[in-house]
Chains A and B, each alone.
Chain A
Amino acid sequence: MTQGNDQDPYIALHGLQKGYRMGGEAIPIFSGLDLSIPRGDFVAVMGPSGSGKSTLLNMLAGIDRPDAGTLRIGNSRLDQMGEAARSSWRAHHMGIVFQFYNLLPMLTAAENVELPLLLKPLSRKERRIRVEKVLDLVGLAGREKQYPAMMSGGQQQRVGIARAIVSDPGLLLCDEPTGDLDRTSADEVLEMLRFLNRVLEKTIVMVTHDPQAALYARRTLHLYKGDFVEEKRAA
């Protein structure tokens, strides 16, 4: 693990290599990917299927490891961490929003949001206060006791966002967060992400196929065959 300083980018990838083996054949995904994202940025990553978007997100989330190269987020070298350390890092530094929400069906909205807090040394009361606060933030106050099956897609995704931010992580990773939503719900979710970025200063990396969604980001990176080919900054 290396130490960073304020001048360093928050996310730094250098010479990142990653490949998979399929039927004995090596399939390279990244062959020396570089990326720098400053703290507080909101980056949309777009690209066709197979371009490496999900692989990049998995590595940023610490659920997959690069074959070579360095991957630093904040002061943590994820490429050098073991599984237990990466679990702990995820619990404390990262929140993730999934395309299909991935809420646990037997838990209420409040309990789903509370899940990451079970990993922190907080009292029951402290956990409840935090859960109420984030549910209020995402506009779901009063729906604490509702189960996911009783909620619309947009509401479920807001629960997913609340779960991602309840631990107050610096980094928010979003995997096609509007991919399962209608336009209105999608815009509400994207507005919320923009609010989290602008007001709460969360660094956000969002993988999306949706050009409309990418408009909410500060910059958009286009990934093609494992490399960034284009960068657009929001006006």
Chain B
Amino acid sequence: MTFFDLARKNAWRKPLRSLLLMVCIAVAFLIYGLTASFLAGTQGTSAASDDILGVMSAGGRTQPLPMAHAARLAADPDIAALAYMTRLRGFVAAEKNVVAVSAADPERLIAVNGKGLGLTPELVAAIGQARDKVLVGRALMEAQGWTVGQHIAVTAFDVAKRDGSRDWRFEIAGVFEGENAASDTYFIIARYDYINAARARGKDTVDAFIVRPREGVPPGELAARIDTLFANSAAPTRTQSEKQFLEAFLRQYADIGLIVDLVVGAAFVTLLMIVVNTMVFAVRERTFEIGVLKTLGFSRLKIMALILGETLFIFAVGGSIGLVLAKLATVFASPALGLVFSPPIAAKALMIIAVLGLATGALPAFNAMRTPIIKAFRTR
């Protein structure tokens, strides 16, 4: 038997009570794992780059920028690569089946963010074969059950063609995978020249320029310089990193991060109170035995460590179960949910397990540590 075995056996003295505590803890960490995965995944912000800059209209996302800006941007020696894109939102078949199309020049896009999107020269060559060819992200491809070579029609919400129709017909030329599981691949890449030539309004405008700074150039400084460059033009710009853009975009609807933090925080505070209360009673029931252990020579610190070890054990088992369930949920959930259970989430969860395990054990451990032996013996 080891000191840890003793703590573990203490924890299992009342199996039902320990099991219920572990279930509570597992549920709390399942909630944490899922919400953190949701934030990291669906939002795409964890995989979004801090280095790639998006240049948009200072007037808002819906205001286009003139293609003429491209020449002035390209003249900046601190810009290593430049791409542009325009967005098209619509639905496929049913109105609730919303998809997003980013129309760009594939050659330029691979130069700016080929790695992040998982674009390969083969994919660029495939989309280059015809103007209506598109590349579809892996998550969207799986969610829709599409296949390469399939023809799809996207009915745009607000981008009409010159003939008045809003149906855009595409042929899937390939699938881009994204850099990793956290990458956002729930959209379509189309060719800008196709959309630009066919659309009724907004010709030769873009929704955003995408800029990759030259190595060693601080993105923040370059962003400020770009905005200064166009400050007095007819179309002033607002330049942000990809990550800043996504976060700002999501905050338009709600501060999801804050909501998630509040939900998870409430779950953990409730958990803390339940476990502290249970452990205080559990340890109080054993006051006499703590007196026996002290009589055998267990010091106050050892008694404290024993009870902290017990709560840590309960948290470690319950928390691990919750995290494993969260991981399984992210594996089996629909890609459309975009849940990503990344190593940093697991590391943070383990830290929370340790902190909560110690915090919940602190009060009963302190009580047990301070109880004099003679007083402990009077409890029987």
- Write the residues of chain A forming the contact surface with B, with a CB cutoff of 8 angstroms: 58, 61, 63-64, 83-84, 87-92, 96, 98, 100, 102, 104-107, 110-111, 114-116, 118-119, 124, 127, 163
Contacts and interface: CB of A to CB of B under 8 A. Distances in A.
Q: Which of A84, A104, A110 neighbours the largest number of chain B CB atoms within 10 Å of its CB?
A: A104
A119 B5 CA distance: 14
A87 B299 contact: yes
The 8 A-B pairs at the shortest CB distance, nearest first, are namely A91-B297, A63-B373, A90-B297, A87-B299, A102-B292, A111-B1, A106-B9, A106-B13
A142 to B, nearest CB: 18
Contacts of A88: 297, 299
B281 interface: no
Q: Which of A64, A90, A111, A127 neighbours the largest number of chain B CB atoms within 10 Å of its CB?
A: A90
Contacts of A118: 1-3, 6
Given A64-B374, A107-B1, A91 B296 contact: yes
B46 interface: no
A116 B292 CA distance: 11
Given A89-B297, A118-B2, A118-B6, 10 more contacts: A61-B295, A63-B294, A64-B374, A83-B300, A87-B294, A91-B298, A102-B292, A104-B289, A106-B9, A119-B297
28 contacts: A61-B295, A63-B294, A63-B373, A84-B299, A84-B300, A87-B294, A87-B299, A88-B297, A88-B299, A89-B297, A90-B295, A91-B296, A91-B298, A92-B297, A96-B295, A98-B292, A102-B288, A104-B292, A106-B9, A106-B12, A107-B6, A107-B9, A115-B6, A116-B297, A118-B2, A118-B3, A118-B6, A119-B296
A119 B305 CA distance: 13
Contacts, number: 64
Contacts of B297: 87-92, 116, 119
B78 to A, nearest CB: 64
B108 interface: no
B302 interface: yes
B10 interface: yes
Q: Which of B3, B12, B288, B295 neighbours the largest number of chain A CB atoms within 10 Å of its CB?
A: B295
Nearest to B303: A87
Contact of A115 (B288, B293, B299, B300): B293
A104 B13 CA distance: 10
Q: Which of A63, A84, A88, A110 neighbours the largest number of chain B CB atoms within 10 Å of its CB?
A: A63
Q: Which of B1, B289, B297, B380 neighbours the largest number of chain A CB atoms within 10 Å of its CB?
A: B297
